[in-house]
Structure 1
Amino acid sequence: MTDQNDTMEDLQVTYPGAGTFLLGATKGRVEHLNKLVAAKQKTATCLPWSEFENDQDALPQVGRCDIVANWDGTPAMVVRTVSVDKVKFRHVTPQMAMAEGEDKDIEAWRKRTAKAFGTKGVLDRDTMLVFETFELVEDLGLR
């Protein structure tokens, strides 16, 4: 049986500098979003710029591979960052929003994003977002 630490060490050798992150804040959300990434339906994510303002080393880096974790912290997939854009909430295009793979249209994306990052479901139109586009490199569940 392989120890989780052995798996992580192997991933750090295979993908040097890879960070590990969760795509959601609850177990159900993480499971749902990980399925979308594995199916290549989710190829983007965003967070408010304020999440990175004081730790810009945490920003996604174009070309770097990172590990998407399961809720329990075990590695699920490896993704490579294709692009990183700092964009105002109001300037997110329908194509960008649909790349997140969660909504039927830009209006649904705006409502979900405002609920997630805003105050009482409202997000200022000028709120800066870090919008990351990525590609699936490896589904670790298939190893």
Structure 2
Amino acid sequence: MDLLDSVKLKYPGARAWAFGDSPQMANELAELVVKGIKTASCGSLASFNADEDAPGPGSYHIILNGQGAPVCVIRMVSLRLVCFSEVTEAFARQEGEGDLSLAYWREEHKAFFTREGVYAEDMELVAEEFKVVEVV
């Protein structure tokens, strides 16, 4: 049994996934989560609605690095809708990326959602807050 299977046994029903859209981004963001710097994330409402296994409050998730190996388990503590243009400096800091500024958050997330083909200044996001329950 490999490490991922072992973690799945400990957290039945937990989904395993990686942050971002590249192995490098997955590694960087997973490291920020493990260090406790990244305690929030967001995705487009369209992607959330298209995902039949979308996270709910209280759900557990196995975070993978860019090589598909588990690095930690998180638990969703809140989900809320927010418009891209209304994301706050506080939420940008919780995302834990770059210099933690809202300007950095907007630039990087605009690029990410543009690559995803869904960017709009008025797009709705699902803002997720989580806590690390185990580093594996």
TM-score over 0.5 for the pair: yes
Q: CA RMSD in A?
A: 1.8
Who is 1:9 aligned against? Answer: 5
Runs of 4+ aligned structure 1 residues displaced above 4 Å come to none
Who is 1:98 aligned against? Answer: 93
Who is 2:75 aligned against? Answer: 80
Structure 2 regions of 5+ residues with no counterpart?
none
The C-alpha deviation readout for 1:30-83, integer Å capped at 9, x for no partner, is 11111111110001111111112233x332111111100122222111001011
The answer to whether the 8 A contact 2:25-2:66 is kept is: no
Partner Cα distance (2:128, 2:31) in 1: 18
Who is 1:27 aligned against? Answer: 23
Whose Rg is larger?
Answer: 1
- Is 1:60 the counterpart of 2:65? The answer is no
TM normalised by structure 1 equals 0.84
Who is 2:123 aligned against? Answer: 127
Structure 1 counterpart SS, 2:104: helix
1:39 aligned residue (18, 35, 39)? 35
TM normalised by structure 2 equals 0.88
What is the number of equivalent residue pairs in this alignment?
Answer: 133
1:130: Cα distance to partner?
1.2
Structure 1 regions of 5+ residues with no counterpart?
none
1:8: Cα distance to partner?
3.1
